């Protein structure tokens, strides 16, 4: 059995009238089965209002199931006599650390949980020292939390949970108030805890690329249910992020971990000759200017193809690991001739992409304007 296990879990938010009668119910979680193993790093993905926070609160017994069962290290969270035991095993870190920090001095706040657990004083200070060291906050132990930055407060919150020696830490969007530097530092701390201490880490994130790079498992939450749970490489392949987040304008590229905005509409005005990553900044600049374009000749395994396929009107492409065939050059010529100009992204030419060199030479002979990326502002 895993450290966190849900069996046919269901939960309704209830609204009451002045007399305490239930007048309305809204289902937030429905028929969820889940098994998270000890030591796993699990990232929870889903749009706002999908049920991520509701599910997280069940893992710490802040919410009790309306239906089904939630087990934390084998303990049923519905057993009121075991509530404190559940929260010792699964600590919760909230999105806003100001809602969690209560001590007037950092070390006192970190020691608050162990003190309530009845831990001997000497052991409390050992736990405080160890927890502050793990999150890199030892030098701030005598400071007031009010003088700390958002990232530092979040670390103190985590230290306070760690001092209780939980088997699992549940974090509800812990990076919401952090800049990129503090996001990376915090996530690195959590990743190391999972690896070195076998602490199960479950956190909800909106940064899909970071979630995929960090986690052992991705947990997707949508419409009260869990449509997918498993290794990132599998989940990103079979659970499109466009569907999970209801993205209708733009797309998410799981290979690059990038979001591309909606492509320009209309017939292409520019033909971009790229490849090897040289074309990507050009494609994105044309998208920003809402100038429709075509691209080529690209191999299907080229990094440029991944972006061009999402932003361009058409892409002339060759199968991976196969020589570019002459018919592709003819197709590219026809497409380029219908455009106002050609943009040469500057990709070095060689034996594999020599047709692109022929395409550029043909355009110049036909007096089709050929520009470089630094000229894009003056010609379009």
Would the pTM of this model clear 0.85, i.e. be above it? no
pLDDT digits (tens, 9 = 90+) for 306-333: 999 999 989 999 998 888 889 999 999 9
Give the residue with greater pLDDT, 96 vs 63. 63
How confident is the model at residue 144, as a pLDDT? 94
84 alpha carbon, distance to own chain's centre: 32
Q: What is the mean pLDDT of the chain?
A: 90
How confident is the model at residue 16, as a pLDDT? 85
pLDDT digits (tens, 9 = 90+) for 57-92: 999 999 999 999 999 999 999 998 998 899 889 999
Residues 57/44, Cβ–Cβ less than 8 Å: no
Q: Is 296 helix (H, G, I), strand (E, B) or coil?
A: strand
Residue 378 has pLDDT above 70, yes or no: no
Domain at 4-248, CATH from 2.40.50.140, 3.50.50.60, 3.40.630.30, 3.40.50.300: 3.40.50.300
pLDDT digits (tens, 9 = 90+) for 243-270: 888 887 888 887 777 888 888 989 999 9
Intervals of CATH 3.40.50.300 along the chain: 4-248
pLDDT digits (tens, 9 = 90+) for 104-118: 999 999 999 899 888
How confident is the model at residue 375, as a pLDDT? 83
Strands (E), the chain: 4-16, 22-36, 41-45, 67-72, 75-76, 90-93, 168-171, 200-204, 217-222, 225-230, 251-253, 258-260, 270-273, 293-299, 314-318, 341-344, 370-371
Superfamily per CATH, domain 261-379: NAD(P)-binding Rossmann-like Domain (3.40.50.720)
């Amino acid at each position: 059995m895993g450290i966190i296990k849900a069996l046919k879990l269901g939960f309704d938010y209830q609204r009451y009238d002045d007399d305490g009668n239930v007048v309305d119910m809204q289902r937030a979680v429905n028929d969820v089965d889940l098994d998270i193993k000890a030591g796993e790093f699990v990232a929870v993905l889903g749009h706002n209002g999908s049920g991520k926070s509701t599910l997280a609160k069940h893992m710490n017994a802040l919410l009790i199931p309306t239906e089904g069962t939630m087990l934390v290290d084998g303990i049923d969270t519905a057993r009121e006599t075991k509530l404190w035991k559940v929260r010792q095993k699964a600590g919760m870190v909230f999105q806003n650390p100001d809602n969690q920090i209560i001590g007037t001095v950092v070390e006192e706040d970190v020691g608050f949980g162990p003190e309530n657990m009845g831990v001997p004083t000497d052991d409390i200070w050992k736990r405080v020292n160890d927890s502050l060291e793990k999150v890199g906050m030892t030098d701030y132990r005598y400071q007031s939390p009010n003088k700390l930055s958002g990232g530092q407060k979040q670390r103190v919150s985590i230290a306070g949970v760690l001092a209780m020696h939980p088997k699992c830490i549940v974090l509800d969007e812990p990076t919401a108030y952090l800049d990129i530097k503090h996001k990376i530092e915090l996530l690195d701390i959590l990743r190391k805890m999972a690896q070195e201490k076998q602490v199960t880490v479950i956190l909800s994130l909106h940064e899909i690329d970071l979630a995929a790079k960090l986690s052992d498992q991705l947990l997707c939450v949508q419409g009260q249910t869990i449509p997918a749970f498993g290794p990132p490489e599998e989940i990103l392949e079979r659970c499109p992020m466009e569907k999970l987040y209801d993205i209708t304008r733009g797309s998410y590229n799981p290979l690059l971990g990038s979001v591309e905005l909606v492509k320009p509409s209309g017939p292409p005005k520019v033909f971009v000759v790229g490849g090897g990553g040289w074309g990507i900044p050009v494609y994105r600049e044309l998208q920003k200017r809402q100038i429709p374009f075509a691209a080529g000749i690209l191999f299907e395994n080229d990094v440029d193809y991944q972006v061009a396929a999402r932003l361009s009107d058409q892409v002339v492409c060759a199968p991976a690991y196969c020589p570019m065939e002459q018919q592709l050059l003819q197709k590219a010529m026809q497409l380029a001739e219908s455009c106002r100009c050609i943009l040469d992204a500057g990709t070095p030419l060689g034996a594999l992409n020599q047709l692109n060199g022929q395409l550029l030479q043909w355009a110049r002979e036909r007096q089709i304007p050929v520009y470089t990326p630094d000229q894009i502002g003056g010609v379009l």
